[in-house]
Chains A and B, each alone.
Chain A
Amino acid sequence: MSRHLILDNPGVRRAGLFLTALAVVVLAILPVFVVERGQEGFVTNSLLFNFTQMFMMIAMAASWNLTGGFTGYVDFGHAVWFGIGAYGTGVFMTKVGLSFPVATAGGVVVSVVAALLIGSATLRLRGPYFSIAMLATFVATREIIRIAKPLTDGGEGMTLPPYLNRPLFFYVTLILAVLVVAMTWWLRRTQFGATLIAIREDEIGADMRGINTTLHKITVFAISAAITGLVGGLWAYQNTFIDPDIVFIERRTLDIIIATILGGLGTVAGPVIGSVVFYWLRDLVWSHFLHYHLIVTGGLLIALVLWVPEGIVGSLSDRSGATPLSRLLHRNREEQSEDDLIETAGGSDPDGTES
């Protein structure tokens, strides 16, 4: 039953890797050709800005994929780490007066600490219960930020020291995206990465074979929060203004989930391909059919779940490890096995119906 599809061909995979490397090189020299406002030219500051947002999406999708795709814990509130990172950076810069790099590092630390605390509670839940608990965490955090006025300036928002340098943010986020994707590639090849997949495939089985599943889940959750918190900090600084409603928007989580599903949940290349396609698709829809963009996004999600549940990478290869979202949420197989594990007394059928 082994299929041989286009991405299973090592030549095609190598070509894909080569094209990706080429794209990174081309992107890296892009800011050299940037033109000023009003001048003729393709490489505008606005284009660099768009790429910066896309790199951020790639980094966040890849980090969401660590918990959602590899470990099978579908996080519906992932943007909470973005928000905590953004506010951490904002507070450390404006209230404490730290420089941007130090403040961002502080934001990342706050994200990680919050992830360790929140994860140790929510990661005990499975399937849809975990997803909903994370959505609730997200909404609750937004309200906490709104209420904690002395620290966060509440609903009025916070203005960070303005700093306009598009090429710098472009390079920083490009490097971040490359590093994060390289890290997921490497992680998948370590024992830690294999353990995450084992937890997704059969958490009870992993537990009974000596794996401390809780520790692994919390560790990966914290790694994922650190990356997204860093993106949040960068975003806050380049946006120069943050308030609860622009930082904590549900759509941010939805976007990275759709991008990951589109590319292929649980694969290394999936979040990259998905983010690139989805980012420009969304941009196209925004610029031409602004009023309908949510309909298009929703329609895309429905179409994906129905017809391409394994995403672009998953449907083009057999060894990718891509897995449909429905399987992660329902965990049918595992619940089934759990039921079977608990042998109930009663009807003593000598024929052994299950054997």
Chain B
Amino acid sequence: MSGSTILEGRGVLKNFGGLCAVDQVDFRVDEGEIVGLIGPNGSGKTTLFNCITGVEKVDGGEILFKGENITEDKPYQIARRGLARTFQVIRVYRDLTVEENLLLSRQWGEVPTLRSFTQADPSLHDKAAEIADFLLLGHHLHEKAGILSGGQRRLLELGMTLMPDPDLILLDEATSGINPTLIQTIKDRIREMNGRGLTLMLVEHDIRFISDLCDRVIVLNYGKKMADGTPDEIKSDERVLEAYFGDDGGSDVD
């Protein structure tokens, strides 16, 4: 169910000192797709996410979101355009309740109007409660995020990306450190979200998770794009197997 291109990178380049973390990568994500981004540790996956979301300034190339150039935008401006993400290291506001975490992740206006000095609209509260239920966090709505387990915090982060009704969500290792039952929940939820027309891009180490979910997989190695194709094509690509699995070829990584 892919449509027009929603996110596109042209020759994206990012150096850290003498090290080329992302080396002129071209990529494309179409509307309604789930695209996986894989590669060995240090291959530049998270750096690419950081470039897309404006955390890292690119040293070359350009990034287009919904046809507009977002290369020079600040992170909060990119978020307001409808691009949400999660993080490899969980970023929830630990001293705020689950509900407050969700409410603060709403769609923000251009300037905080005087309405910021009021409490959130009841409709936002309803939406936060709905999302919390969707992610099995309904019972924890009024508890501080700091007391949630690691897996629950991952779910909360996922919920926070849903709050602003984004057009594209980037998930950075949404399953790392999560027990298998909860991974299944996350997988189901991602599928359900995609079914509602949401486009997703995932960084993941779990190949089974990627091949179950993704329409297309992009492989990075040493900052360069090595392959781009369906999960089946990727799994049979010799260079990918070499780079990703090393000599023992084919053992699962998780």
A→B interface (CB under 8 Å) = 1-2, 187, 189-192, 194-195, 197-198, 200-202, 204-213, 215-216, 219, 266, 319, 321, 323, 336-337, 340-355
Contacts and interface: CB of A to CB of B under 8 A. Distances in A.
Interface residues of B, number: 68
Nearest to B142: A319
Q: Kindly list the 3 A-B residue pairs having the minimum CB-CB distance in the complex, ordered from nearest.
A: A205-B91, A348-B40, A210-B79
10 contacts: A195-B116, A201-B92, A202-B92, A341-B89, A345-B21, A345-B44, A346-B42, A347-B41, A348-B243, A351-B253
A219 B87 CA distance: 28
Nearest to B220: A345
Given A204-B91, A206-B104, A345-B20, A212 B112 contact: yes
Interface string B134-150: 00000000011001000
B103 interface: yes
Interface stretch (B58-66, B117-125, B186-194, B228-236): B117-125
A48 to B, nearest CB: 35
B144 A210 contact: no
Given A191-B119, A197-B93, A345 B222 contact: yes
A206 B173 CA distance: 19
B42 A212 contact: no
A345 B223 contact: yes
Given A187-B117, A191-B119, A352-B253, 20 more contacts: A190-B117, A191-B104, A192-B112, A194-B96, A197-B96, A198-B93, A198-B101, A202-B92, A205-B87, A207-B79, A208-B75, A208-B76, A319-B144, A321-B95, A336-B89, A337-B87, A337-B91, A341-B89, A344-B16, A352-B176
A347 B42 contact: yes
A342 B50 contact: yes
Given A207-B74, A341-B55, A343-B46, A352 B205 contact: yes
Interface in B76-111: 76, 78-80, 84-85, 87-89, 91-96, 100-101, 103-108, 111
Max chain A CB contacts within 10 Å: which of B20, B42, B43?
A: B42
B47 interface: yes
A337 B90 CA distance: 8
B67 to A, nearest CB: 20
Given A341-B46, A343-B42, A354 B176 contact: yes
Contacts of A206: 93, 104
A195 B106 CA distance: 12
A195 B20 CA distance: 36
Contacts of B87: 205, 337, 341
A60 to B, nearest CB: 22
B45 interface: yes
B195 interface: no
A1 B19 CA distance: 44
B160 interface: yes
Nearest to B104: A198
Interface of B: 16, 19-21, 40-47, 50, 53-56, 74-76, 78-80, 84-85, 87-89, 91-96, 100-101, 103-108, 111-112, 115-120, 143-144, 147, 160, 164, 173, 176-177, 205, 221-223, 243-246, 253-254
A146 to B, nearest CB: 38
Contact of A210 (B50, B55, B100, B108): B108
A350 B244 contact: yes
B104 A211 contact: yes
Contacts of A350: 40-41, 244-246, 253
B164 A343 contact: no
B83 to A, nearest CB: 9
Given A191-B103, A194-B104, A343-B46, A201 B116 contact: no
Contacts of B20: 345
Nearest to A339: B89
A190 to B, nearest CB: 5
B176 A201 contact: no
Max chain B CB contacts within 10 Å: which of A190, A212, A336?
A: A212
A344 B92 contact: no
B103 A323 contact: no
A194 B145 CA distance: 13
Contacts of A323: 95
A212 to B, nearest CB: 5
B76 A210 contact: yes
Given A211-B104, A341-B50, A205 B117 contact: no
Nearest to A187: B117
